[in-house]
Amino acid sequence: MQQHLRRQDGVAKVDVSLVDGKVAIYPREDSRFDPAAIFKAVYDSGVSVVEMTVLASGELMSDPARGLVFKIGNSEVFGVKPNDVSQKLKDQIGSGKVLKLRGLLYRKTSGKAGRKPPASMPLEILEVLN
């Protein structure tokens, strides 16, 4: 799996912990992150994703079509799933301040995880680190 993930576009390094069933992926700078592609690549390597979290820095913005979004780069925008943490960050929306946060993109709910990633993977902010 480590080899398979490392071959994905934009992946710099992959750490796998067999004991915990945890995988850490470090993207290259200036690369685009596609959660659906990671999800599929993991499945193709013979295992399935139970949970996917991301550590990222970016800006909270309000999008007329999508509502609250977290803009990481020029083209990477994640819709934000409202929760208590996002409610507390209302003052930061559109302020231009770069927030470093840990967010949840996917958590398996029930049954067997499928090959296909969910249609949408909104970011649920778990904690703000700055």
Partner 1 sequence: MVSRRLALICFVGLTLFHRVPQARGAGIEQIDLRVEGMT
Please report, as ranges, the residues that interact with partner 1 according to CB under 8 A: 1, 16, 18, 20-27, 29, 33, 35, 38, 42, 46-59, 71-74, 76, 96, 98, 100, 113
Amino acid at 2: Q
**Cβ distance to partner 1 smaller for residue 88 or 100:** 100
Rounded distance between C-alpha atoms, residue 87 and residue 92, angstroms: 10
Q: Are strands 22-27 and 11-17 parallel, antiparallel or unpaired?
A: antiparallel
**Cβ distance to partner 1 smaller for residue 48 or 83:** 48
Specify the DSSP class assigned to residue 66.
Answer: T
3-state secondary structure of 26: strand
From the CB of 99, what's the least distance to partner 1, in Å?
Answer: 9
From the CB of 5, what's the least distance to partner 1, in Å?
Answer: 9
From the CB of 37, what's the least distance to partner 1, in Å?
Answer: 11
**Contact by Cβ (8 Å): 54, 17:** no
From the CB of 74, what's the least distance to partner 1, in Å?
Answer: 5
